[in-house]
Amino acid sequence: MLTGRRYLLAFTPDQAAYAGRVGAACRSVWNTALEQRREYRRRGAFISYVEQARQMAEAKKDPDCAWLAEAPSPTLQQTLRDLDRACREHGTWRVRWRTRARTAPSFRFPDPNHIAVRRLNRRWGEVRLPKFGPVRFRWTRPIGGTIRNATVSRDGGRWYISFCVEDGVTEAVPNGKPPVGVDRGVAVAVATSDGDMMDREFVTPGEAKRVKRLQQRLARSLRTHGRNRRSGRRDATRAQIGRLNARIRARRADFAAQTAVRLVRGHGLVAVENLRVRNMTASAKGTIERPGRNVRQKAGLNRAILAKGWGGFLLKVEHAARYHGATVVKVNPAFTSQTCNACKHVARESRESQAVFRCAACGHQDNADVNAAKNILAAGLAVTGRGDLAIGRSAKRQPPERLAA
């Protein structure tokens, strides 16, 4: 199976500056190629990756594009491949631009023959990359397989290298352990049908105050200093905010990984809701002609959902399930929080608060998240009995009771 290994790089100052220029070149290639594709679409034509790669190779010979020739060719070509795949999967008009402010520098070396890794001692390793030379990194865990490619990225002011590794491990056979339903929430990150409530505070009170203070400082700082110079104070403030957010993201990822492994080790089937997190966290501000309602309340809910890391948690569960013989089933999320697990009565008023569920029909009382997790488990068991994927209409329906009798 393919898996990932991430390590902290120890760039020299010259290597860090060069990595920043390579990331900027890849971002410029992405944006230029995307605009070219959109212009072709406006005229009813199409341009392929092969043609764009040929034009880029010609542009590198131009003395005015010395910055383009400075970057390693495999990284620029891989950027065009990623853009081509994104346009084919999502459509040219739905692919986003990459900006300096919102897009962290990142570039990939796709050929494993260009990547040489060796261990120096107990704490340090060394990787050789095209045009970078030898680069040291913290050896926090073994590579554990054959390297397929490597991605260099910056997160919170630090540079990391991520190896895509073929570990030689086959997918585990079903472990035969009992199933479980999982409900992802805002007040509690994960609630299971067994009654377990798993949560963690990712931001300390002191960090929350500091982030707010830095955001206020960022809002007051100037975008430019003088006529052509960027504001150094603003860049320093943004760097401090980035380091704090990186620390918070690391805690969230650690919690998701540990919780996912705990679930798949103890259960053979994990039923979760098929939530479209991106749509759920879309802004409600609307347009000038049709302004939205309860915009501030919706923005707070969006931040709370994203702070719990619903999407990242599901990815961790699916990844860990391959190694522990568990199956992940996605079920329709409709009415799981309004249905009584005891009598199956559906009523909005049954959920009295965020934590209390009291059925309006039979009086059954339970924790609202645990009740939803039980409904999710029931839906997961029902669809796996029909042999479908839990989304949409089943391909194999159970026979009616009158015929089965």
Q: Which helix (H) or strand (E) holds 88?
A: helix 73-90
Check 58, 369, 388, 401 and give the catalytic one. Answer: 369
Q: Which two tokens stand for residue 167?
A: 């570990």
Region of 60 on the Ramachandran plot (φ > 0 left; ψ -120 to 50 alpha; else beta) = alpha
Question: Residues 380, 390: contact at Cβ < 8 Å?
Answer: yes
| CA dist., res. 371 & res. 337, Å (int) | 7
Burial of 78 (0-12, 13-18, 19+ CB in 10 A): buried
Kind of pairing, strands 179-184 and 269-273?
A: parallel
User: In Å, how far from its chain's centre is CA 197?
Assistant: 23
> Distance (Å, rounded) from C-alpha 44 to C-alpha 37?
10
Q: How many other CB atoms sit within 10 Å of the CB of residue 35? A: 11
Query: Which residues, in sequence order, are CB contacts of 374 under 8 Å at separation 6+?
Result: 181, 193, 341, 366
Per the annotation, the verdict on 369 as an active-site residue is yes
Q: What is the dihedral of CA 145, 148, 149, 154, to 10 degrees?
A: -30
The yes-or-no answer on residue 388 being catalytic is no
Q: Which of 14, 273, 352, 366 is catalytic?
A: 273
- Position of tokens 């302004």? 291
Q: Where are the alpha helices (DSSP H) in 184-309?
A: 205-220, 232-266, 277-280, 295-308
Residue 346 gets which letter from DSSP?
B
| Residue in 84, 155, 183, 366 annotated catalytic | 183
Which residue has tokens 């955001």?
A: 215
**Which residues have a Cβ under 8 Å from the Cβ of 390 and sit 6 or more positions away?**
271, 274, 329, 330, 331, 332, 379, 380, 383, 384
Whether 168 and 147 have beta carbons less than 8 Å apart is answered as no
- Token reading at 234: 């603003």
- Catalytic: 183? yes
Active site residues: 183, 273, 369
